């Protein structure tokens, strides 16, 4: 069990009622936002490529990388970093990872 998971387990087991409620909300929000993010990314790629059969290895990698968002705390940190990276550089970290995979596959 990771340090983050054991910390969350301790809060959920021994924390105050407020801590426990916040932990449950954080867990649910992580899953919902992660699912919405993956769905929107898949829809965007689908529209750009004209169907799932035209997805590249990098496109599938982008979706897999976004699976990190389902991990409590780590997912929220990654999502905030990804959004921040996109705001400051014009391209998200996830997009750069996917493009890197596509470039590696082509060569």
Number of structural domains the chain divides into: 1
- Per-residue pLDDT tens, the chain, 107 aa: give them: 455 555 555 555 666 767 666 667 766 776 777 788 888 889 989 999 888 889 999 999 999 988 887 777 787 788 889 889 999 999 999 999 999 999 999 87
User: Residue 18 falls within a domain, yes or no?
Assistant: no
Is 56 inside a domain boundary? Answer: yes
pTM, to two decimals: 0.66
Domain that holds residue 59: 32-106
User: Looking at the domain assignment, is residue 10 inside a domain?
Assistant: no
On whether residue 4 sits in a domain, the answer given is no
Residue 1 covered by a domain: no
Residue 9 to residue 7: CA distance in whole angstroms: 5
Q: Give yes or no for a contact between 27 and 35, defined as CB atoms under 8 angstroms apart.
A: no
């Amino acid at each position: 069990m990771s340090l983050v998971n054991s910390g969350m387990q301790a809060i959920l087991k021994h924390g105050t009622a407020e801590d426990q409620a916040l932990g449950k909300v954080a867990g649910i929000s992580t899953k919902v936002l992660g699912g919405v993010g993956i769905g929107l990314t898949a829809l965007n790629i689908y529209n750009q490529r004209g169907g799932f059969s035209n997805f590249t290895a990098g496109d599938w990698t982008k979706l897999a990388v976004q699976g990190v968002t389902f991990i409590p705390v780590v997912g929220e940190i990654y999502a905030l970093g990804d959004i921040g990276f996109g705001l400051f550089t014009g391209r998200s970290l996830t997009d750069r990872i996917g493009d890197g995979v596509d470039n590696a596959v082509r060569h």
